[in-house]
């Protein structure tokens, strides 16, 4: 009898779960993160191998290893940068491989990021699980099997609707051959929703500049894909009741709206009189194309004007927007809008002298604040180190190098045009940045959450001089 009574205590002491719930940091906390990295690495290598096949290249002979690796990584990580013209360099087979990698990367990152979120939720005790489940209302601990199916259905639906708009418009209004219009519309629908930024046209979407029937749906698909599956699911359930949205949904939606509005206004205003970009256009087209470019830096990657001809202030604003990125568990990159929002809320609380950080009637946990600060600092460190390295090893100036590095690490895809001219070693560095930028923030944030444990003692408090 005594042994039966003490058995739960022995299990607790050994850190083993009671009622199937972990009481401390599980031994294999890093396994989900390592699995995510392994899956993407294997698929990336398969894509590289397929693109190196002779018949994947438009001209006789195969592609170089760097060209195949860079293209595969950019497509799988939905990063959008390219060292070669997708439509000219690759055959139809090669383009289909790129399209498949984009689709796999977009679906995979949304699915695996959502599942990692459930792993984090399961890390907590029963009371915290119920609290998180009530607060998020999107990812419940019992919905593991249905997540992949829901993401697949939502993705294919959005891509199909966009393709149905793009195909007839490209055919009837722009004189593209019907068969090629079908292919082009599907390709750009998949690329837009997955925030890939890749196009089969060497000039991206500049041939469609000023066409609202193409640009507005593409921009909307980019927003939907980048906002994150948990938020999309929650908006579907409570689109008419903002008061019922979770804190995560409110932070994502309102921060995204402010950044989109600010980006559209600033980019349009700064480029309004630039003779190399918006200057020669009519006022209506200036507003449309400027607004389109205010949205694309948030990870869309497609462009209708020459990014390399933008003014320096516009490029700097674009760099900041790229660094922030989009929503969590979505196809966008960057540090994510919730991370950006949390940091600003911390600053605002400190300015007002509040001991705690509040948002929408909730108090933010200290762990969320620490994770946001850690992720941002780590991302900035990666950008700084990569920028310094490429300044040393390439002949380009700081403006162009910083733009390329942030675009790669935030998996955006916008470029000032120097990517094909970089030496192979620098292109490999950008490929590594794209892979790390796609996988890194998710695995880092989940690893921090899964490692968190309660200390049974603390040290005496001390305060250094700040500022």
| DSSP code per residue over 154-178 | HHHHHHHHHHHHHHHHHHHHH---H
User: Reduced to 3 states, what is the DSSP secondary structure of residue 37?
Assistant: helix
Helices 212-227, 247-271: crossing angle, 10 deg rounding: 140
Q: In this structure, what DSSP letter does residue 422 have? A: S
* Residue 23 resides in a domain: no
Q: Are 233 and 151 in contact (CB under 8 A)?
A: no
Q: Are 200 and 95 in contact (CB under 8 A)?
A: yes
* Residue 195 resides in a domain: yes
pTM for the model stands at 0.84
d(CA 461, CA 279): 58
* Residue 332 resides in a domain: yes
d(CA 22, CA 33): 18
Q: In this structure, what DSSP letter does residue 272 have? A: T
* Residue 24 resides in a domain: no
What domain range includes position 326?
30-127+134-451
Q: Are 21 and 125 in contact (CB under 8 A)?
A: yes
Q: Taking the chain, what is the end-to-end CA distance rounded to the nearest angstrom? A: 62
* Residue 11 resides in a domain: no
- Provide the 10 A C-beta neighbour count for residue 198: 27
The domain tally of the chain equals 1
* Residue 188 resides in a domain: yes
d(CA 195, CA 107): 11
d(CA 198, CA 188): 8
* Residue 149 resides in a domain: yes
Residues pairing with 57 in the sheet: 90
What is the residue-level pLDDT of the chain in tens, covering all 467 positions? 444 444 443 433 333 333 333 333 444 444 556 777 788 889 999 999 999 998 899 887 778 999 999 999 999 998 889 999 998 999 999 999 999 999 988 887 777 666 665 555 455 444 444 444 444 444 554 455 567 778 888 889 999 999 999 999 999 999 999 999 999 999 999 999 998 889 999 889 999 999 999 999 999 999 998 888 888 888 888 887 888 888 889 999 999 999 999 999 999 999 999 999 999 999 999 999 999 999 888 778 899 999 999 999 999 999 999 999 988 877 888 899 999 999 999 999 999 999 899 999 899 988 889 888 988 998 999 999 999 999 999 999 999 999 999 999 999 989 999 999 999 999 999 999 999 888 877 666 665 555 555 667 777 777 787 77
């Amino acid at each position: 009898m005594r042994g039966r009574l003490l058995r739960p205590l022995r299990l607790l002491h050994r850190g083993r779960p009671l009622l199937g719930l972990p009481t401390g940091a599980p031994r294999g906390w890093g396994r989900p993160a390592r699995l995510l990295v392994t899956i993407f690495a294997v698929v990336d290598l398969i894509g590289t191998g397929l693109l190196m096949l002779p018949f994947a290249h438009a001209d006789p002979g195969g592609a170089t290893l760097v060209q195949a690796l860079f293209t595969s990584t950019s497509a799988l990580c939905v990063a959008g940068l390219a060292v070669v013209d997708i439509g000219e360099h690759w055959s139809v087979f090669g383009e289909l491989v790129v399209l498949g990698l984009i689709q796999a990367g977009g679906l995979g990152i949304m699915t695996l990021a959502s599942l990692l979120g459930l792993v984090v939720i399961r890390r907590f005790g029963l009371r915290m699980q119920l609290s998180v489940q009530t607060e998020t209302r999107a990812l419940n601990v019992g919905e593991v099997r249905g997540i992949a199916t829901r993401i697949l259905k939502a993705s294919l639906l959005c891509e199909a609707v966009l393709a149905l708009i793009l195909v007839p418009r490209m055919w009837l209004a722009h004189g593209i051959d019907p068969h090629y219009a079908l292919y082009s519309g599907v390709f750009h629908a998949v690329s837009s929703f997955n925030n890939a930024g890749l196009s089969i046209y060497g000039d991206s979407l500049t041939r469609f500049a000023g066409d609202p029937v193409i640009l507005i749906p593409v921009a909307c698909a980019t927003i939907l894909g980048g906002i994150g599956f948990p938020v999309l699911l929650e908006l579907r359930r409570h689109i008419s009741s903002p008061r019922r949205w979770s804190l995560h949904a409110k932070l994502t939606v309102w921060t995204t709206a402010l950044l989109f509005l600010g980006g559209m206004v600033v980019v349009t205003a700064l480029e309004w009189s630039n003779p190399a970009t918006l200057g020669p256009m009519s006022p209506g087209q200036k507003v449309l194309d400027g607004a389109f470019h205010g949205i694309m830096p948030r990870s869309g990657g497609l462009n209708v004007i020459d990014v390399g001809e933008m003014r320096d202030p516009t490029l700097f604003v674009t760099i900041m927007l790229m660094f922030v990125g989009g929503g969590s568990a979505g196809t966008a990159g960057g540090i994510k809008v919730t991370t950006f929002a949390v940091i600003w809320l911390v600053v605002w609380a400190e300015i007002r002298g509040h001991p705690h950080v509040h948002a929408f009637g909730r108090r933010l946990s200290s762990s969320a604040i620490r994770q946001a600060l850690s992720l941002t600092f780590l991302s900035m460190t990666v950008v700084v180190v990569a920028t310094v390295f490429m300044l040393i090893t390439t002949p380009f100036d700081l403006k162009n190098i910083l733009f390329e590095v942030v675009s790669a690490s935030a998996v955006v895809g916008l470029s000032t045009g120097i990517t094909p001219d970089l030496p192979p070693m620098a292109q490999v560095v950008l490929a590594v940045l794209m892979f790390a930028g796609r996988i890194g923030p998710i695995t880092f944030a989940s690893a921090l959450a899964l490692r968190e444990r309660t200390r049974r003692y603390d040290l005496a408090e001390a305060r250094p001089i700040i500022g």
